[in-house]
Structure formats: C-alpha cells, structure tokens
Structure 1
Amino acid sequence: MLKTYLMENYGYGEPIFLNDLSIEGLSENAVRQSVKRLVASGFLERYDNGIYYIPKHGGLLGKSYLDPSMVIIRKYVENQSDKYGYITGLSFANQLGLTTQMPAVIEIVTNRESTNGRMLMVGNQKVRVKKSSISVSEDNAELLQLLDAIGQAERYTELTIEETIDILITYIRKKKFTKGQLSDVSSALTGATAKKMIEWGMIYEFAS
C-alpha cells in the first residue's frame, strides 16, 4: 500500500519527508514501520533524519542519489502543488546577473519557518531560513523575491548603479508585474525599498 502510494505521489529521486506522510487507513506509527521495512528491503534510501527517497538502480554509480538542492527546494520553497518560499540574497542576485559571486550560504524566506533567521545544514550545504513578513504563495513569490533584491541591490551588485537598475527594470518587464500585485504585497514593502523604486523609476514599470 505505502509502496504504491510513494511511487504514484513521489516517484524516483524526490525527497520524501516522513512528517508529511499522511495516508488514509494507516496510522502514523504504521507509516513509520512501513518506511523502515521499505528501507530494509532497498526500495527506499534514507537521506537524513526523517528524509527518504526512492533510488533508481543501475547507471555509473550503481544507483541514483538524492540532490541536496532538491531537498532544500522541497522542504522550504515548493513542491509539485504548492509554493511556500523563495530564494533570496546572493543566490538570487547571481541569478539576475548582478554578481558572479556564488553564495556559501543559501538564503530562503519561507512560510515553513517561525524565526527571523537561523542557520542549518542540508547535506553539506549551509542554508539560512527566515519567516516571511506575509504569506508566500504562487501568486506573490516572484514579486517578493524581486522586492528583496531591490532592497539588497547595492550590497551584492558588481555593476554600476545604472546597469543594476536596467537589469531590475528588465526583470519587472519580463515578469509583467502589475500595480495590483504590488498593492497586494505592500505590507511587505519597506520604506527604503519603496524609496528606491521611486528614485530608480521602477514604480512606473508595473502594468495597470
């Protein structure tokens, strides 16, 4: 029963968080015992405490291994059906092209954290997670991510201020953010970021 459920809902190479497993007809203890049996049989591999995956057998290494970045994304950013966080800081600045620096620590804002910031390890990767000032969703995650980037722009950019502004404005146009979307997240907008958006001409790039 559990084996079929895991194949249908996760498949190969997807992180399976024990605390998230809720299966009709099986108690929490029964699920845990079933997971132990599936690990013993080789169907499941244990990645870390409470984290498992279904490995594919064969290939150069004999079997597939779980990508730590996938664990981070699934735990704090999104799964197949829901968005609950976003990557921020140096990682996103690099993604935008503001810097060539690669972060030693991945910073994430997520609904799945209750503190204002704490450091943890996922595999060998350092991750800093912090709670969001408003609930993150599919509808607002990219805009919240951008607002963070605007607020942090001078800290991370390796470009001139003019080049930095051009990149950020290009991103706003590409994503076609609207004034309505901005209004919906206004409670997350700091005074300093709002001031930059006006001074840098970005406020006028949001569609009506």
Structure 2
Amino acid sequence: MTTVSAKIMQQIQQFPEDMSFGYSELAIARQDFLSAAKALERLQKKGLIRKLAKGRFYKPKRTPFGEKKPDEQQLLKPYLYKQGKRIAYVTGDYLFNQLGLTTQVPAVLKIASRGQRIFINVGAIKATAVKSYVDVTDDNYQMLGFLDAMKDLKQIPDIDIKNAVAIFKNRIRQLNQSQRQAMIDCALAYPPRVRALLGAVLTALNPKKGISKLSDSLNPLTTFDLGIDDTLLTSALAWNIR
C-alpha cells in the first residue's frame, strides 16, 4: 500500500458510516490527487466506499435491509461549505416546511448564497440557486432562513397566517438579546416588508432595545399588505401592516 493509499484508508476508517466526503476532507495535497484517485477507485471496487458524485464519496451504512445512502444533509454539505466555511443554506418551501409553515415539500430545493450560484443535480437531490441578502455563516444562516420566511410569507403554499404569526413569535421569543440584535442587523438588508414584520413581532414581545433601527429604516407612509391585522398581531397597525 502506498503512503497516499495508507493515509486515505486511515482517514476513511475514522469516518462515520453514510458520511459523504471529498478530497478536501481527506486532506490530500494537490500533487497527490492522481494517486488518491487510484486509491479511491480501488476502495470502490472493494465495496468499502461508494461514489456519490464527481469527486464525492461515502462509506455505505449496512443495515438488515441493505446499504443506506447518506441523508440529505450529508448530500448537501459539500455544496453549503467551501474550505470548511459555510457559504450557503437551504431556503424556500423545503425550509418553510421544516419551520411548520407549510405541509408541502418541493421537488426542487433552493440554495441561497451571497457569493456564488449553486445548482445541484445529484440523484434525487435537485436544487436551484437564489441570492442571499448577506454573507452566509454558521452563526447567521438559520436567521436568514427565518427572514426568508417573512419575506415570502404571502407566497408560501397553504400557509395559515395565524399559525405563521405564532411560529414567528415563538421562534423569536427563544432568542437572547444578542441574537435578536443580530437578526435585526441582518433584516436591514432585506425588503421593507420584512423589517416591518420583524419590528411588529419584536414590539409584541416587548423588546428592550435595538428595535429603533428597523423603524428608522422604513418610510412612515408605506403600508404592507401581509394579511395580518391587530387581532393576529397587536402591533401590526403601528408598523403599517394590514
């Protein structure tokens, strides 16, 4: 076994089953890519790993019902990270379903990234690219997905607005002050309707500070037709939400 092959085998043995990986996770020097490719090909023939896509592999998890492929999060991981840093996140109806805002699950995912357009067509996983409003990090991607839900509120299929408002309030209630401030800062890059809705929800939760940034960013003459009145959100009218 060559040095490169031995190094690859040692690393793969430490990977959990059904984890996807590529050359970056194997820490292979560029000058060793050819040797690594041959080593990976040999491991595939032995059935120790499977090819997932070009340059991506996984250790098959064996169950009484046969081999199990990696779950969606493992399949998506190489597209959401670059050199170990998150650059993208899943948004759209797939995320809104996870948030409890819709029962529908789309056939095509949406991947949001600030710096690049990400498209996926790997097996059953298909995704199209959308633009993120701010740079994506591990610290803010969940907040950005939440703000996307506010932005797309009226386009989310079979949504119950009363339920949506309750979900927004419950989620934001769980944030501490620094997290709320971080969400406000992200929201300033979003369309005015998002800033207004976030401001209204925060007002309903009686925040201590930071909310003035949102109100100062809005035109006081602009109204927002979101299908929300003061019976659903007591602070709606104060933020020109109808």
**Cα deviation per residue 1:89-130 (whole Å; 9 max; x = unaligned)?**
11122122222112121222246x612xx6532212321233
Amino acid at match of 1:88: T
- Is the Cα contact below 8 Å between 1:84 and 1:110 reproduced in 2? yes
Q: Could you tell me which of 51, 60, 74 is aligned with 2:56? A: 51
Amino acid at match of 2:202: I
Go from structure 1 to structure 2 and tell me whether the alpha carbon gap of 1:66 and 1:160 turns closer, same or farther (over 3 Å shift): closer
In the alignment, structure 2 segments of 5+ residues that lack a partner are 1-6, 210-242
RMSD over aligned CA atoms reads: 2.9
Match of 2:110 in 1: 107
With structure 1 as the length reference, what TM-score do the two structures score? 0.79
Go from structure 1 to structure 2 and tell me whether the alpha carbon gap of 1:34 and 1:130 turns closer, same or farther (over 3 Å shift): farther
Shift of 1:41: 2.4
- Are 2:195 and 1:190 equivalent residues in the alignment? no
Return the alpha-carbon distance in structure 2 between the equivalents of residues 184 and 46 of structure 1: 41
Question: 1:4-19 maps to which residues of 2 (within 5 A)?
Answer: 4-8=10-14, 10-18=15-23
Between the two proteins, what is the percent identity of the paired residues? 22
Match of 1:2 in 2: 8
- Are 2:155 and 1:149 equivalent residues in the alignment? no
Go from structure 1 to structure 2 and tell me whether the alpha carbon gap of 1:153 and 1:141 turns closer, same or farther (over 3 Å shift): same
With structure 2 as the length reference, what TM-score do the two structures score? 0.69
Q: Which has the higher contact order (CA 8 A, sep 6+)?
A: 1
**Cα deviation per residue 1:38-97 (whole Å; 9 max; x = unaligned)?**
112222111222221112446222xx2323513433123469x75443221111221222
- Larger Rg over CA atoms: 2
Go from structure 1 to structure 2 and tell me whether the alpha carbon gap of 1:152 and 1:58 turns closer, same or farther (over 3 Å shift): closer
Shift of 1:187: 5.1
Match of 1:132 in 2: 132
- Is the Cα contact below 8 Å between 2:8 and 2:26 reproduced in 1? no
Question: 1:19-98 maps to which residues of 2 (within 5 A)?
Answer: 21-23=26-28, 27-57=32-62, 59-61=64-66, 64-67=67-70, 69-77=72-80, 83-98=86-101
Return the alpha-carbon distance in structure 1 between the equivalents of residues 158 and 112 of structure 2: 23
Return the alpha-carbon distance in structure 2 between the equivalents of residues 72 and 184 of structure 1: 31
**Cα deviation per residue 1:120-167 (whole Å; 9 max; x = unaligned)?**
322123212334332211211111111101001111153443332122
Question: How many residues matched?
Answer: 199
In the alignment, structure 1 segments of 5+ residues that lack a partner are none
